[in-house]
Structure 1
């Protein structure tokens, strides 16, 4: 009897450990989903705070036109990001602009100075805080950031995110998931009956700290009847529900940046039932084994019977081998199908990358359209003048001078055709293979394309090639696109500055060729340098770029087997560095 009890305890402990591993996986998924959902919105308040409309409003908060413009801007951003609310607070905590300005229960006119997210942001810190809205009575997670200008804090921008979708995904599953605040109050759960209950005693100090921040507004806080125990290193929690007490295996994960604790509960009734069932099965197996041993002992002398049993075992083994072979064949067939699907997916990814490259090129052409229009208008106007003058000269019998005008008109037409040819080659989708590309020719074509942009920015491009005959291993059209993107960005950076000189140099280094484009612009801050090559990331204003140029350029250079990087330039500005293989080195390695 003692052995049975010990065996049952060992089985229960084993199944508890297995259940703990499964619950740990569920806990990691819940934490990852929660952190991923909130991290999407964390950098947004700081980005919105840098918008000029928000800064102008906080400088002159009583200006009606600025208030209306800020309200419309916040409403548009809120709809685009599918967040809950976005609003602006003055240094005294009053709301002067909000995305819900035109609906009942708007935040405009409300004062939130008592909220911890305001108190942290007004002293220059970004903050995050979970609470039940005192005005909307809707739960949400708040991100806040200070609005600063020249070191002075003008106000606070607040971004509220809805969390109902996360809770909905927790309902009806095998696990009960809830999130508790530092005071032990449950504020997110897949079990609505546990909302605003405390798993820790709701003593006076806890209630006072909660009321000070008005985290849960006027919601009723009540204790959850729980008791906790430890079973062989596993946390167990008993909860009284509907007149009965249920036992759960509890796993917790503390998120320091949010000051939350995510908890996953697994009902131990199924674990204990499984342990008892296994114990009964083991006992039954032992009894059956003893009975079989007795039968075999009694029939030991029956050689024929033993041979028959051996034959049956051989047949069973052959059947299992056949079944296993069939299973392996099915697995191989499935693997082949998966390989085919992955190849198709890879082809689709390459096509998507090519489409993104083309989109970036067309976006660059769109940005140069105004400058190109000016570049074509000048030759056209000059050609019209020369034509009119030639007609007058012919009427007066001055044929040589008229012929000179005609030659000038032909030169102007050649110039416009050259510009058109470069743009047509730049816009065409590349189907080129990698091979030797003379760098001076690519740079010359690049200068033809960016000339209008440089002229519009009043910038000057200085080309310095260390030596002639620099030939890289690349594709000419795509390499040209990379240089056009980088030089155009440099023109954007120096536009309106005192020093508008851009340098483009190339030299050999360690068997490779390095191309550097430098400017004297504001440079690239360290926080931006880590993301500057990410898709759709841009520091330009709205409507001035898709954020694809540098990402596409980075991937093109990677396809060439090279590297694209950015660094600060001594004395101010930025340097973009493209490193490619020398065509000569590649050819020698192939031989």
Structure 2
């Protein structure tokens, strides 16, 4: 009976150890899977910011175009009276030429009733000329607010697009009509093609941009009766059936991140669903990615947990054996005083116990060391695999091979570039007046142009007073400075020795920022016209002549002044802005 009992106890202990190892491995695998989902969601969120930046960049490229065109004297004069056939033909051809140079979808000029009197697509059967678009919300917004924006399916062409408009007014401020630019997104959807699903929804939850077929015009939430009435009145999604998208949240990470089960066009699947509100347009950008939990990560976590469990068990067995051995020795000493005849047997028993204890101790030490030696390189390998997986997700195969050594430097550099495009891309609302350091704006602009400055071997001389506090919009002022720096680099393109000087200093109640080059300067007859819209001395195709005009408007909006002049060997552009004397609040 005794051997059988011992066998049962040994089997029970062995089974308990195995079950404990399995349980530890299972818990570790579940934790690794949850952690991998969280990390994958964080990477998807970073990638979503890059996609949002590309969308903002496309829209911002044309946001100022209708406002600049609304200042054109010929277009304003056409809306002052009845447009003749000759005038309409000239306007059509002018808008056609500007649309080709700006690479927008279409340009149209509406009178005060919303009637299209001229359009860049006048040659097509789906021409906007002669159609009235007064029912569109962007027209009523332009009439009351001066600007408008609206995404809709074209009622004439049937092609969806984003309409940006600006009011055309008389010298006395009377509303004459609207200048409208339409942007279409097929190129953007092609650029977004990949394994991930990218969607853009409006404020009502209607998906109107998608990089995968079958997702467009799906509903993320039910529409109310007023929503249906508005859509019918504005014909926003003209004749397009709006189908609900069925999905169920499985796990939520934060307000804009979750794991969801979606019944999509290709069937039911689980997705990491990341959302990013685009507040400037009132849209939301969504990224749907199927979870990618690496088998190696979960396996390594399971092995590490099982190894730790076994090491703990062997340590407990070792300590238990030592306790039993100590107790045995004590009993042996007592018995040795009483039983001389059993001395040899007791010594053998003690000796056998010592041998067994030494074996268990060695086994415990080897298990702990083995677990440590396996866990450390596996952890490092897991980190490297995560980094390589991120680079491969971005399609940067060459960088993935290079990242085996400079992993930390590469991750730091990637983190720094993102932070910046937003900030720079964010679309800041017009008229933003925040307190900012103008010297920091110069630093950010030079950082964006750093590659070109190095490639063209430009000698840059900086004289910056820090801090230079002003009131304005950092992103817009950065746009002004980048325009000035690029013009200076273009002017010095053929010079063997290029020298660029940027000086920022206080002048009474103003900050004076000058950009000076040695590119030969501006012709005297061109100086009075450098800030006029569409004025350019560059060859056809190299520029539209809007950079300085837009820069002039931005500086003027910030309460400053932008001027141009010549010096001995080149041109000098000067930006003056009022000094902000408000003392910063100490925390």
Q: TM-score range by the shorter chain?
A: 0.5 to 0.7
Aligned twin of 1:526: 556
Aligned twin of 1:104: 125
Aligned twin of 1:181: 202
When structure 1 is superposed on structure 2, of 194-203 and 350-359 the one drifting more is 350-359
Aligned twin of 1:235: 258
CA contact (8 A) 1:84 1:160 kept: yes
| Distance (Å, rounded) in 2 between the aligned partners of 1:276 and 1:101 | 62
Counterpart of 1:101 in 2: which secondary structure?
Answer: coil
Counterpart of 1:210 in 2: which secondary structure?
Answer: helix
Counterpart of 1:41 in 2: which secondary structure?
Answer: helix
CA contact (8 A) 1:45 1:143 kept: yes
Q: Does 1:122 align with 2:143?
A: yes
Q: Structure 1 residue 212: deviation in Å?
A: 2.2
CA contact (8 A) 2:519 2:571 kept: no
| Distance (Å, rounded) in 2 between the aligned partners of 1:358 and 1:276 | 53
Aligned twin of 1:168: 190
What does 1:87-486 correspond to in 2, within 5 Å? 87-149=108-170, 150-173=172-195, 175-231=196-252, 233=254, 234-241=257-264, 244-268=267-291, 270-271=292-293, 276-282=298-304, 285=307, 346=454, 348-350=456-458
| Distance (Å, rounded) in 1 between the aligned partners of 2:529 and 2:66 | 29
Q: Structure 1 residue 288: deviation in Å?
A: 8.1
CA contact (8 A) 1:53 1:69 kept: no
Alpha-carbon distance change, 246 to 73 in structure 1, aligned in 2, over 3 angstroms: same
| Distance (Å, rounded) in 2 between the aligned partners of 1:185 and 1:343 | 41
Q: Does 1:27 align with 2:57?
A: no
TM-score (norm 2): 0.55
| Distance (Å, rounded) in 1 between the aligned partners of 2:122 and 2:555 | 35
Counterpart of 1:40 in 2: which secondary structure?
Answer: helix
CA contact (8 A) 1:430 1:478 kept: no
| Distance (Å, rounded) in 1 between the aligned partners of 2:566 and 2:160 | 38
Counterpart of 1:59 in 2: which secondary structure?
Answer: coil
Q: C-alpha deviations, 1:407-450, integer Å up to 9, x for none? A: xxxxxxxxxxxxxxxxxxxx99889999xxxxxxxxxxxxxxxx
Gaps of 5+ in 2: 1-19, 319-355, 378-401, 411-449, 461-483, 502-515, 532-551, 579-587
| Distance (Å, rounded) in 2 between the aligned partners of 1:360 and 1:284 | 68
Aligned twin of 1:64: 85
Q: Structure 1 residue 197: deviation in Å?
A: 0.6
TM-score (norm 1): 0.55
| Distance (Å, rounded) in 1 between the aligned partners of 2:405 and 2:305 | 37
Counterpart of 2:37 in 1: which secondary structure?
Answer: helix
Alpha-carbon distance change, 361 to 85 in structure 1, aligned in 2, over 3 angstroms: same
CA contact (8 A) 2:457 2:498 kept: no
| Distance (Å, rounded) in 1 between the aligned partners of 2:556 and 2:52 | 29
Aligned twin of 1:47: 68
Alpha-carbon distance change, 198 to 555 in structure 1, aligned in 2, over 3 angstroms: farther
Counterpart of 1:97 in 2: which secondary structure?
Answer: strand
CA contact (8 A) 1:70 1:97 kept: yes
Aligned twin of 2:534: none
CA contact (8 A) 2:258 2:272 kept: yes
Alpha-carbon distance change, 248 to 102 in structure 1, aligned in 2, over 3 angstroms: same
Aligned twin of 1:366: none
CA contact (8 A) 2:520 2:571 kept: no
Alpha-carbon distance change, 202 to 282 in structure 1, aligned in 2, over 3 angstroms: farther
Q: Does 1:37 align with 2:72?
A: no
Q: Structure 1 residue 15: deviation in Å?
A: 1.7
CA contact (8 A) 2:560 2:577 kept: no
Equivalent residues, number:
391
| Distance (Å, rounded) in 2 between the aligned partners of 1:40 and 1:190 | 21
Q: Structure 1 residue 254: deviation in Å?
A: 1.2
Q: Structure 1 residue 144: deviation in Å?
A: 0.2
CA contact (8 A) 2:565 2:572 kept: no
CA contact (8 A) 1:524 1:567 kept: no
Counterpart of 2:113 in 1: which secondary structure?
Answer: coil
CA contact (8 A) 2:164 2:182 kept: yes
Q: C-alpha deviations, 1:369-400, integer Å up to 9, x for none? A: xxxxxxxxxxxxxxxxxxxxxxxxxxxxxxxx
Alpha-carbon distance change, 243 to 351 in structure 1, aligned in 2, over 3 angstroms: closer
Q: Structure 1 residue 158: deviation in Å?
A: 0.5
Q: Structure 1 residue 112: deviation in Å?
A: 0.8
Q: Structure 1 residue 55: deviation in Å?
A: 0.9
Q: Structure 1 residue 488: deviation in Å?
A: 7.6
Q: C-alpha deviations, 1:216-266, integer Å up to 9, x for none? A: 111111111122344454523221146853222222111122110111122
Aligned twin of 1:81: 102
CA contact (8 A) 2:518 2:569 kept: no
